[in-house]
């Protein structure tokens, strides 16, 4: 008998947003520098991994889907490495624009004995210019013809702007493609017309500039409903860590409790949640199922150390165990 998650297979997902390389230097500290009172890390291994919106694409690959990466990177060596990493993972790069006006974001971490000693960010976070934005929109519009769903994955690094979000959303609606959003602070109020809007509780508070308390349920739900009406958002899902997940169509509010986990690392959990949610939306599943499956998936990746994509088999087993299929 086919498992329900097989419905994820070959779904074509456009992932639009900021990508980055997560670079790691692993080594050992055995002495202090004679030049300054800082440790010397003797590097034993270097590793480049896909980060940002590219990690969402990695999760989608793990779930059996076919992501198309839509972003703007630099015409630099790091951009070459980014394309190589994407292609190595089987991620479609036809929506990737190379710009002479940008640099490719790289976050470099120096790690010794499982401890992060230093992080160096090489990035440009100003909004992309109109030429780069138009190239992105043109490339993306071509891909919309075959898309099942579109994810806006924002990290406030400049790829997404108020103007291109509006144009892309309009193009997606014309193509009959649902828009799913994982927002950050800068563009929080710019995703009008989204089908599913998924902030975490901190992002919601920052975006609305309100200290919302889920325990004050009436006020919490009233503010969310008002925001959804003003933004013409069809559904909203809020991830709340140990509180679990809340999903709503603005009228009915469904609270899904968190499952008890041995939490090792919460890094990348949001990327997993939005990936599973988008594939549920692509299949036309109801809000309850969207929230339950996303909640499970986010918890599962938190049991792993580091940013890792979801294990589809483990997710399927948990769904069966909890009789959620």
In a domain, 39, yes or no: no
In a domain, 33, yes or no: no
pLDDT bucket at 80, cuts 50 / 70 / 90? very high
Question: Which of 173-177, 196-200, 210-214 has the lowest average pLDDT?
Answer: 210-214
Check whether 276 has a pLDDT greater than 90: yes
Could you give the angle at the alpha carbon of 300 between the alpha carbons of 298 and 306, nearest 5°?
Answer: 85
Check whether 317 has a pLDDT greater than 60: yes
Residue 272 near residue 182 (C-beta atoms within 8 A)? no
How many structural domains comprise the chain?
A: 1
In a domain, 271, yes or no: yes
Sheet holding 19-32, edge to edge: 39-52, 19-32, 106-112, 115-122
Average pLDDT for residues 74-91, to the nearest whole number? 98
In a domain, 211, yes or no: yes
- Per the annotation, the verdict on 211 as an active-site residue is no
In a domain, 316, yes or no: yes
pLDDT digits (tens, 9 = 90+) for 142-154: 999 999 999 999 9
DSSP string, 54-118: HHHHHHHHHTT-EEEEEEEEESSHHHHHHHHHHHHTT-EEEEEEEETT----EEEEEEETTEEEE
Given this model, what pLDDT does residue 266 score? 46
In a domain, 31, yes or no: no
Average pLDDT for residues 9-36, to the nearest whole number? 96
Check 22, 154, 182, 271 and give the catalytic one.
Answer: 271
R_g (Cα) of the chain, nearest Å: 20
pLDDT bucket at 1, cuts 50 / 70 / 90? low
Cα-based distances in Å from 291 to 9, 198, 268: 19, 10, 17
In a domain, 317, yes or no: yes
Give the global pTM: 0.94
Given this model, what pLDDT does residue 268 score? 62
Q: What is the residue range of 276's domain?
A: 4-21+50-106+123-321
Cα separation of 279 and 220, whole Å? 27
In a domain, 38, yes or no: no
Given this model, what pLDDT does residue 303 score? 59
Q: What is the CATH number of the domain that holds 10?
A: 3.40.1190.20
Cα separation of 290 and 81, whole Å? 34
């Amino acid at each position: 008998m086919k498992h329900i998650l097989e419905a994820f297979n070959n779904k074509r997902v456009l992932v639009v947003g900021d990508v980055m390389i997560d670079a790691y230097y692993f080594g050992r500290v055995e002495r202090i520098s004679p030049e300054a009172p800082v440790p010397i890390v003797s590097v034993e291994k270097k590793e480049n991994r896909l980060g940002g919106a590219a990690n969402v694409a990695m999760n989608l690959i793990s779930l059996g889907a076919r992501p198309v990466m839509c972003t703007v990177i630099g015409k630099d060596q790091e951009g070459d490495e980014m394309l190589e990493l994407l292609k190595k993972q089987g991620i479609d790069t036809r929506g990737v624009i190379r710009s002479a006006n940008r640099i490719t974001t790289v976050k470099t971490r120096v790690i010794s004995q499982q401890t992060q000693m230093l992080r160096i960010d090489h990035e440009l976070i100003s909004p992309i210019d109109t030429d780069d934005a138009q190239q992105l929109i043109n490339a993306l519009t071509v891909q919309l013809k075959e898309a099942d769903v579109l994810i806006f994955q924002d990290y406030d690094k400049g790829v997404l702007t108020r103007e291109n979000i509006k144009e892309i959303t309009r193009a997606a609606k014309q193509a009959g493609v649902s828009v799913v959003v994982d927002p950050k602070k800068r563009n929080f109020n710019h995703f009008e017309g989204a089908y599913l809007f998924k902030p975490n509780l901190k992002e919601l508070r920052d975006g609305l500039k309100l200290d919302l308390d889920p325990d004050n349920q009436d006020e919490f739900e009233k503010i969310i409903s008002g925001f959804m009406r003003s933004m013409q958002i069809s559904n909203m899902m809020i991830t709340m860590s140990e509180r679990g997940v809340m999903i709503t169509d603005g009228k009915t509010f469904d609270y899904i409790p968190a499952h008890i986990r041995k939490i090792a690392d919460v890094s990348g959990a949001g990327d997993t949640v939005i990936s599973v949610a988008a594939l549920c939306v692509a299949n036309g599943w109801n809000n309850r199922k969207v929230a339950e499956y996303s909640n499970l998936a986010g918890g599962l990746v938190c049991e792993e150390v580091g940013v890792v994509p979801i294990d589809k088999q483990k997710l399927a087993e948990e769904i069966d165990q909890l009789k959620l299929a």
